[in-house]
Amino acid sequence: MRKIFTALFIIILYSYFVFILKIYFIVKILLHFLFFYDKIYNERLFFAEGVVLITKHINGDDENGILSAGKIIKSGGLVAFPTETVYGLGANGFDENAVKSIFKAKGRPSDNPLILHIAAMEQAEEIAFLNDEAVKLARHFWPGPLTVVLPKKKAVPYCVTGGLETVAVRMPSNEIARKLIIAANVPVAAPSANISGKPSPTTAYDVSQDMDGKIPMIIDGGACQIGIESTVVDLTGKVPAVLRPGGITLDMLREVLKDCVMDKGLLEPLKADETPKCPGMKYKHYAPEAEVIVFENGTEGRINEYLEKNKGKKLAVYCKNGRKYKCENIKYWGDNAADMAKNLFADLREFDKYGTEIILCEAPEMSQLGQSVRNRLYKSAGYNVIKK
């Protein structure tokens, strides 16, 4: 009898073992399809309906991490990375599905063009028809915060260009960005790495607030040096035209191309039926949750008057160093436009953390860089500007 029970026990144990083994292999097969396996980090990232539930954070000085990030982009994934201007959300610029995932992650309108980031002039020649003006600007300002708009080549998908026959191209100076592009070995399509319409991120922390759980990787390269997006110059018209002002000013451009002008679209937003030639021309951008009101010319009296009339609201003042206002929530953007450029987007995000309802902003001086900062500030305010 004991032998019979022993045999039954062995049979039951064996059957249980086989059952567990079958479950193991079934789960393993499922995981093979559900998980992206990164061999360098021995890390698994879970994908479901295009949403990544685990986002890897690496430091910009991690060489193996950069190689891994390049592989993610090459294979169709998204990586947030630092540049000298703002953090970008990068994808393989030749992969339509990867590019479309940028629009999905950001909630970005599909007719809003993207910039292709390159690490060498040879890459520019692969994606655009270069003219003499482009070569001259590249020699003076690349690598750096300048984007040029040129006729596109067939290799560039229309989802990158917003359906246009032109493409925006930039060679960043940030070393981490350039290493990533080299590791990916493709032009990297990248807008700012934030939810569409919100202030652009200038730190990896800002990126994580919008993109954690949506993308496989964020590269932390510290705070961005400039703080506002690149200058964009259209080289497809009769004369070179600045479509978006930035760190490269009009005077700097005219030292190379004397007939360069400011595009008329900078003065007011595009109409609903107009297609933007570059990012930032049409839709509301850089806006915090709080309402933003910009004050120009003799601001102190008018801001104090507004504060007095709206005491029941959660107000904040964003102003130049040394100003004094009758408000508990005051944040200083610095002494000049360069200071404001570095701080603007991070400061707008910080106001939201404290539940601010209305931000009263002093505009910076009317230098050329100041005009670039005002461009961002006006857009964040939805052109709610008080001039008198």
pLDDT of residue 46: 39
Query: Residue 177 and residue 113: Cα distance in Å, rounded?
Result: 20
Specify the CATH number of the domain 291-386: 3.40.50.11030
Q: Is the pLDDT of residue 278 over 70?
A: no
Instruction: Indicate the average pLDDT of the chain.
Output: 88
pLDDT of residue 8: 64
Q: How confident is the model at residue 43 (pLDDT cuts 50, 70, 90)?
A: very low
Q: Is the pTM of this model over 0.95?
A: no
pLDDT tens-digit readout, 125-155: 999 999 999 999 999 999 999 999 999 999 9
pLDDT tens-digit readout, 65-110: 999 999 999 999 999 999 999 999 999 999 999 999 999 999 988 8
Q: Are 179 and 59 in contact (CB under 8 A)?
A: no
Higher pLDDT, 83 or 300: 83
pLDDT of residue 347: 95
Q: How confident is the model at residue 268 (pLDDT cuts 50, 70, 90)?
A: low
> Among 309, 294, 318, which Cα is nearest to 378's?
294
Burial 131-153 (b: 16+ CB within 10 A, else e): eebbeebbeebbbbbbbbbbebe
Higher pLDDT, 174 or 301: 174
Give the Å distances, CA to CA, from 319 to 28, 322, 337, 347, 365. Answer: 58, 8, 11, 11, 12
**Residue 373 gets which letter from DSSP?**
H
pLDDT of residue 297: 77
Query: Start-end ranges of CATH 3.90.870.10 in the chain?
Result: 46-266
Query: Start-end ranges of CATH 3.40.50.11030 in the chain?
Result: 291-386
Q: Is the pLDDT of residue 227 over 90?
A: yes
pLDDT of residue 33: 53
Residue type, 281: M
Q: How confident is the model at residue 23 (pLDDT cuts 50, 70, 90)?
A: confident
Q: Are 189 and 155 in contact (CB under 8 A)?
A: no
CATH topology of domain 46-266: DHBP synthase (3.90.870)
Q: How confident is the model at residue 4 (pLDDT cuts 50, 70, 90)?
A: low
